[in-house]
Structure 1
Amino acid sequence: MQPTLLILAAGMASRYGSMKQIQSFGPGGETIMDYSIYDAIRAGYKKVVFIIRKEFKQDFAAIFEPRLEGKVEIDYVYQEVAEGRTKPWGTAQAILCGKDTIKEPFAVINADDFYGRDAFEKSYKFLTTDVKPDVYSIIGYELLKTLSDNGTVNRGVCQVDAEGNLSAIAERLNIQQQDGKILTDDNQEPKELALDSKVSMNFWCFDPAVFTYTENMFREFEAANRTNPKAEFFIPLVADQFIKDKAGVIRVIPTSSKWFGVTYKEDAPEVKAALEALVAAGEYPPALWK
């Protein structure tokens, strides 16, 4: 079966302050998502599913349907804010929103991150040759190459065993570089992280069997956090428990791609400059869809 690309675009962008998922960054007015979809199509993907808030559907359709018509199949699923909360339950619960739509192996990415061509090519190869109900993967980026100069970031920090499989992953918060060191300000140890630590940028490759495992785990998480409006059900939480339960393996696939993204408004000029440099180098055409 041909794999699907699932794009997480339902977040409220609280730190950024606007709907950055559909902001133009490319020289032809492209969003960051456009570059991900372009790379996915040339890697071999034939279908894209957007996870969005239902109220965003009209905006998304107006932007993407004319651009992608005849190039790739698109669909939408919706993640809404539960009663008593100010934002959705998080990335792992977002995946569950696709369980009735996606019946084939799939990759998961964030809408507002640039991942690079190499990452999509490696994910497509994995999803068409190696994925199984008990064999998943994550595209691993070097921590130092994923930081922002404009504030702290959160990252899923990976531990990788001798076979190249994920042995543990922990969501670390408030990461930033200070005096040549990468430090965190959360309640976990260690406080200093290695510059070349492999981290998750939320580029995962799954078999649809992940839906059942995640759904069972979410029921417990939701019951335990009903009165905690800030609790979030992250994909790394599911991945870490999957490994601890010995339910299967998650391969860490290193990529040579450079990651960049928009966490803060101040990141936007840097993203635009990076995209312009890639266009100038011939990596992408000046207008993706013409």
Structure 2
Amino acid sequence: MNNKPTLLVLAAGMGSRYGGNKQIDGFGPNGETILEYSIYDAIRAGFGKVVLIVREEILQDAKDLILPKVEGKIEVDFVLQSIKSFVPEAYQNPARVKPYGTAHAVLCAKDAIAEPFAVINADDFYGKEAFEVLGKFLSNGVQPNLHAMVGYAIEHVLSANGTVSRGVCDMNEANQLVGMVERTSIARENGKIISKGEGEVFEVKEGTPVSMNFWGFHHAVFGDIQRMWDEFLPANQENLKSEFYIPSVANNLIQEGKAAFEILEGGKTWFGVTYTEDKPVVIDSLKKLHETGEYPENLWM
């Protein structure tokens, strides 16, 4: 068994608000994807393998993009997520077109991972500090009943080009997650951070930690995810828009008293592409990180 942690990358999303396939779009000075920076940061933080969750229609593109650059630097595996993955025939609904969500994507990697692992989005830039702190946790602190999440202050993860969805966290004095609420329409208004989703207006205080979907798990979590998935399917078979999310898994484990989640303070730098208009900001941010020496002139030379 690999004794180094694994990086699990969720790259099967459709990028509907962005208007293109942002998982394989180039943003760096040499056309690097955001994903390549995550893999680079994972390698220097001591991760031993990367597993990419992709849709079948982008599998070859993903292989052509990643494999020539990282060959010999880190082990790479690809796993497919489809609407039928881990769905018994009795629960398959031919009318469904929407993917089942992030926790379902993680479940799809169940047979590819046998060590502690991190989960990230392919289209978010998390920063080297986040990989360092989570890599250390996965190598030294993780337990079957103790997982982690890298927290980011809400004011650092907004978009100037529209509303965003964020998992807003409640934590205790021990910096452990108490619960998380997914707020789906957050933006800055008149100097305040306001959420207008779910039919309510709610102010989110600056400094509040939110989830950017950067999780650290003991591999024992696959058993818990499978159990919850087996409960989710019959309850949501007719709900064509239902999704099975990682925060729901975390909340359930906390409420059941089966696991705790440390909120790690590694979230120093984040940027991502929710809207097409975000792209120039990301390009400029990456250019500056190269110029300051955070990254070499070419990631893979």
Which of residues 122, 125, 147 in structure 1 aligns to 2:136?
Answer: 125
Matches within 5 A, 1:1-290: 1-82=3-84, 83-187=94-198, 191-290=202-301
Over 3 Å counting, the alpha-carbon distance change for 1:241 and 1:60 in structure 2 is same
* Aligned-pair CA distance for 1:256: 4.7
SS of the counterpart of 1:157? strand
Distance in 2, Cα, partners of 1:226 & 1:173: 23
* Aligned-pair CA distance for 1:254: 1.2
* Aligned-pair CA distance for 1:227: 1.8
Contact 1:170–1:240, Cα closer than 8 Å, also in 2: no
Contact 2:147–2:260, Cα closer than 8 Å, also in 1: yes
Contact 1:140–1:253, Cα closer than 8 Å, also in 2: yes
Contact 2:153–2:267, Cα closer than 8 Å, also in 1: no
4+ residue segments displaced more than 3 Å: none
**Number of residues paired by the alignment?**
290
CA RMSD of aligned residues (A): 1.2
* Aligned-pair CA distance for 1:187: 2.3
* Structure-2-length-normalised TM-score: 0.94
Q: Give ranges in structure 1 of 5+ residues lacking alignment.
A: none
Contact 1:116–1:257, Cα closer than 8 Å, also in 2: yes
* Aligned-pair CA distance for 1:84: 2.4
* Aligned-pair CA distance for 1:286: 2.0
SS of the counterpart of 1:187? helix
* Aligned-pair CA distance for 1:190: 6.6
Contact 2:121–2:213, Cα closer than 8 Å, also in 1: yes
Quick one: percent identity of the two aligned structures?
Answer: 50
Distance in 1, Cα, partners of 2:54 & 2:178: 31
SS of the counterpart of 1:172? strand
Partner AA of 2:153 in structure 1: E
Distance in 2, Cα, partners of 1:189 & 1:19: 32
Contact 2:7–2:49, Cα closer than 8 Å, also in 1: yes
Q: Give ranges in structure 2 of 5+ residues lacking alignment.
A: 85-93
Deviates more, 1:77-86 or 1:89-98: 77-86
